[in-house]
Amino acid sequence: MDRSSSAKNASTKNASPADASPRRSSAAGGWGALKSCGRHLLGSRAPLSGARALLSANQPDGFDCPGCAWGDPEHGSSFEFCENGVKAVSWEATDKRTPPAFFARHTVTELRGWSDHALEGQGRLTEPMRYDAASDRYLPVAWETAFAEIGETLRGLGHPDEAEFYTSGRASNEAAYLYQLFARLYGTNNFPDCSNMCHEASGIALQAAIGAGKGTVLLEDFEKADAIFVVGQNPGTNHPRMLGDLRRAAERGARVVVLNPVRERGLERFADPQNTVEMLRGASRPIASHYLQPRLGGDMAAFRGIAKVVLARDAAEVAAGRPSLLDHAFLNQHAAGLPAYRAAVEATPWDAILDQSGLTRAEIEAAAEVYLGAESVVATWAMGVTQHRHSVATIREIANVMFLRGQIGRPGTGLCPVRGHSNVQGDRTVGINERPPAAFLDALEARFGFEAPRGHGHNVLAAIRAMLDGSAKAFIGLGGNFARATPDSAAVARALAGCRLTVHVATKLNHSHLLPGRVAYVLPCLGRTEIDRNSRGRTQIVTVEDSMSMVHGSGGINRPASPHLRSEIGIIAGIAAATVGSERVDWAALADDYDLIRDLIADTIPGFSRFNERVRRPRGFKLRNLAAERVFETPEARATFSADPLPAVTEHQRAAGSADTFVLQTFRSHDQYNTTIYGLDDRYRGVYGERRVVFAHPDDLAALRERAGERVDLVCAHEDGVERVAEDFRLVPFDMPRGSLAGYYPELNVLVPLASFGEHSDTPTSKSVLVRVRERAPAP
């Protein structure tokens, strides 16, 4: 069967959602969400502290919800109910523990055979542990011994660039600032960061397009927009509070245009669990007014198509003597590069647009009509856009389309990359950056009196390569799960295990900890929900920055999971003092009073003046984004159009000739937080009790079943002599385009080749992996 010709949006026509996916619940949110919360509070054995903690999530004097980076409303203080926020909080506030006795019972080799779910399911780590190779076990160790040995090992490396300092985006501003200060005093810019696998492309594209690597949208813009384009994200699962804003917008008549290959339940209908009447009536509201299902990686073509319609319609209006449809005031005063962009759009043929996007011309025209009919437009996006080879070009194309009608820097308009980890944006703001701006290094040098390293450091892929070829010898992880979040899991396991030193600061045990280097530590830290007291008994707060650039405080309310825990800041300070000494920086004093760290941030980073005072205001303060005020700090000092051609060939076009080759995307289930697996259900997609599933269009699935059976193996089709196989996945029918597959991260990371990454962004192409589906290999 020739998929390439029949594929043209078979998705919307052939499969109705009802027959495509078994046992799907009706709307997102609703009673299913409430029931699930109760189960999670009980399942984590944290009903009391968990429930108490929830009441203080995202409250002015509580902690920032570790669930996601969506903004909090400016007004009102009622806790906005969020099922997945409940899971994140109760997962941390569990009363289960992973004490030294647990490690005494299990060798590291044995634990490597456990699932992610089982490892973290043991509960919170309680004491610092050091790996003992002779017994293949982690043994308890004193904090001071750990700091001394880590410091000594780091000082013993041939060059500071032999160490990698990884950050996961949950780290607070204060922890991240101290961490980068320590690593730079030590002498390196090696800051691989979860953001390299996440919104890197957004930062790079926006920096070039608008002169600021962040979004320009505030929550109130969602109240004013006439149209909202939601591209490549699944907020029902990953940003549930965003659904409330989308729903309110839809209710007042705004159009919501979704681009997503997969029909995601939360974007179709949403029942608000906070609305009692709605809950009792079993009602739900439609969200998307238009649901376009492009092929994986087809968004650049889709937006190019929209631009083509807009420019053609505008030309026709002008020719007929009517007013232009473009915002010439904006284009003349604030934008650069339109002629070259116009030429690029004209040079792009419709058949390339339709083939790469997989959409029909009518669908693209309908989206363009919404765009043209709206006075104010917001565009949001996440991983469905950022994890492809041409992600930077795609985001610039979205920006191009928005510039045409001045959809930036006015109320109800703007570009909104929806961030993932709750403080990933803040970490970058305070200096977690392998290519730091010179002005920032100048400020550090002036404040601390040292010579900062100036060369570019390693991002995630460079760090992996360096560990593999032996040029990096130490890995420090401030949170996260490097081994499971990165591509090519087998290669990364070798990379970590080959190190002279591995150190993980963590709340729960994960697979990264089970790949010890020659000297290896797991150091347990306080979580965000826990009270952090200094030596004088005073409680300390940290700060975070959300997707809308709002900076606010976060203070825990629960008793720490163990008396031996230290804060991330305390741990970094301990390692730093043992490595670089305390002459230039009094690490112990900073760890004992985070106000002092905030003073240093205020001294060295623009926008943080009077930090301590402003962050204690109820909702914190907003970091200014000049692009939102139409001040564009690009080389031309204008919003800058790009003029990239469409990709020469997309993965879909590569796969089109072969009946067993597909493009696979790896996404999140409803019951996980990245590599943390809360449970085995994916309620909105109708999957229960399993994660080894792969979704396919019903027609593709029927053909595959006939050829390969019910359960299949997936083999990476990237040709580099390495065989990458993910074994034993059940095929599940779903409403999505022909030729595409979807399955869960991190189980499928084994298939993502290190050699496939975004142009300019270096982000692994986790949303477009070329794979072959084959019959299960017979058991040996």
List contacts with Mo ion (CB under 5 A).
198, 420
Residue pair 473/163 in contact by the 8 Å Cβ criterion: yes
Distance in angstroms (rounded) separating the CA atoms of residues 169 and 69: 10
Longest dimension (CA), the chain: 84
**Whats the size of the chain, residue-wise?**
780
Residue pair 388/297 in contact by the 8 Å Cβ criterion: yes
481 lies in the binding site for ligand MGD (CB under 6 A): yes
Minimum distance of ligand MGD from residue 140's CB (angstroms): 18
Using the contact rule CB under 6 A, the part of the chain among 364-372, 442-450, 474-482, 636-644 near ligand MGD is 474-482
* Partner in contact with 508, chosen from Mo ion, ligand MGD, none, beta carbon below 5 to 8 Å by kind: ligand MGD
Q: What is the DSSP letter of 226?
A: S
- Which of residues 21, 749, 761, 765 is near ligand MGD by CB under 6 A? 749
| Nearer residue to ligand MGD within complex by CB, 594 or 632 | 594
Question: Which burial class, exposed, middle or buried, applies to 710 when counting CB atoms under 10 A from its CB (0-12, 13-18, 19+)?
Answer: exposed
Q: Smallest Cα–Cα separation from 733: which of 4, 234, 19, 25?
A: 19
Phi, psi of 741 (to 5 degrees): -125, 160
| Nearer residue to ligand MGD within complex by CB, 331 or 366 | 366
| Nearer residue to ligand MGD within complex by CB, 171 or 712 | 171
Site for ligand MGD in 195-254 (CB under 6 A): 197-198, 231-234, 237-239
- Which of residues 256, 364, 367, 382 is near ligand MGD by CB under 6 A? 382
- Which of residues 426, 527, 686, 758 is near ligand MGD by CB under 6 A? 527
Residue pair 665/749 in contact by the 8 Å Cβ criterion: no
712 lies in the binding site for ligand MGD (CB under 6 A): no
Q: How many residues bind ligand MGD (CB under 6 A)?
A: 61
Annotate each residue in 483-522 with x if it binds ligand MGD (CB under 6 A) or - if it does not, as one string: --x-------------------xxxx-x------------
DSSP of 502-532: EEEEESB--GGGGS--SEEEEEEB--TTB--
667 lies in the binding site for ligand MGD (CB under 6 A): yes
Distance in angstroms (rounded) separating the CA atoms of residues 158 and 497: 19
Site for ligand MGD in 87-126 (CB under 6 A): 120
* Partner in contact with 510, chosen from ligand MGD, Mo ion, none, beta carbon below 5 to 8 Å by kind: ligand MGD
| Nearer residue to Mo ion within complex by CB, 198 or 352 | 198
* Partner in contact with 186, chosen from Mo ion, ligand MGD, none, beta carbon below 5 to 8 Å by kind: none
| Nearer residue to Mo ion within complex by CB, 384 or 420 | 420
- Which of residues 300, 752, 770, 771 is near ligand MGD by CB under 6 A? 752
Site for ligand MGD in 761-780 (CB under 6 A): 766-767
Residue pair 736/11 in contact by the 8 Å Cβ criterion: yes
Q: What is the DSSP letter of 682?
A: B
Minimum distance of ligand MGD from residue 741's CB (angstroms): 11
Minimum distance of ligand MGD from residue 225's CB (angstroms): 19
Token pair recorded at residue 295: 């092929």
Token pair recorded at residue 554: 């976060």
Phi, psi of 384 (to 5 degrees): -65, -20
173 lies in the binding site for ligand MGD (CB under 6 A): no
- Which of residues 44, 153, 675, 765 is near ligand MGD by CB under 6 A? 675
Bridge partner list, 227: 255, 377
734 lies in the binding site for ligand MGD (CB under 6 A): no
Q: Smallest Cα–Cα separation from 89: which of 40, 27, 138?
A: 40
- Cα 491 to chain centroid, rounded: 22
| Nearer residue to ligand MGD within complex by CB, 38 or 581 | 38
Residue pair 237/684 in contact by the 8 Å Cβ criterion: yes
| Nearer residue to Mo ion within complex by CB, 246 or 485 | 485
674 lies in the binding site for ligand MGD (CB under 6 A): yes
Q: Which run of H or E residues covers position 385? A: helix 383-386
Minimum distance of ligand MGD from residue 486's CB (angstroms): 7
* Partner in contact with 676, chosen from Mo ion, ligand MGD, none, beta carbon below 5 to 8 Å by kind: ligand MGD
Minimum distance of ligand MGD from residue 340's CB (angstroms): 26
| Nearer residue to ligand MGD within complex by CB, 119 or 501 | 119
Residue pair 337/639 in contact by the 8 Å Cβ criterion: no
686 lies in the binding site for ligand MGD (CB under 6 A): no
Site for ligand MGD in 293-332 (CB under 6 A): 294, 296-297, 299
Neighbours of 2 (CB within 10 A): 9
Residue number of the CB closest to Mo ion reads 420
Name residues whose C-beta falls within 8 Å of residue 328's C-beta, 6 or more positions apart in sequence. Answer: none
| Nearer residue to ligand MGD within complex by CB, 632 or 662 | 662
Q: Smallest Cα–Cα separation from 676: which of 118, 112, 117?
A: 117
Residue pair 381/284 in contact by the 8 Å Cβ criterion: no
* Partner in contact with 237, chosen from Mo ion, ligand MGD, none, beta carbon below 5 to 8 Å by kind: ligand MGD
| Nearer residue to ligand MGD within complex by CB, 239 or 638 | 239
431 lies in the binding site for ligand MGD (CB under 6 A): no
Distance in angstroms (rounded) separating the CA atoms of residues 316 and 324: 9
Site for ligand MGD in 606-645 (CB under 6 A): none
Q: Helices 299-319 & 391-404, crossing angle to 10 degrees?
A: 20
Distance in angstroms (rounded) separating the CA atoms of residues 756 and 751: 11
Q: Smallest Cα–Cα separation from 501: which of 523, 480, 534?
A: 523
Q: Smallest Cα–Cα separation from 688: which of 27, 236, 24?
A: 24
Residue pair 415/403 in contact by the 8 Å Cβ criterion: no
Distance in angstroms (rounded) separating the CA atoms of residues 542 and 175: 8
| Nearer residue to Mo ion within complex by CB, 420 or 739 | 420
Which amino acid, 28? A
* Partner in contact with 752, chosen from ligand MGD, Mo ion, none, beta carbon below 5 to 8 Å by kind: ligand MGD
Token pair recorded at residue 263: 């029909």
Minimum distance of ligand MGD from residue 230's CB (angstroms): 9
| Nearer residue to ligand MGD within complex by CB, 232 or 560 | 232
| Nearer residue to Mo ion within complex by CB, 420 or 436 | 420
| Nearer residue to ligand MGD within complex by CB, 21 or 674 | 674
560 lies in the binding site for ligand MGD (CB under 6 A): no
Residue pair 402/210 in contact by the 8 Å Cβ criterion: no
Residues engaged in binding ligand MGD (CB under 6 A): 67-68, 84, 120, 168-170, 194, 197-198, 231-234, 237-239, 259-262, 264, 294, 296-297, 299, 382-384, 387, 420-421, 478-482, 485, 505-508, 510, 525, 527-528, 568, 665-668, 672-676, 745, 749, 752, 766-767
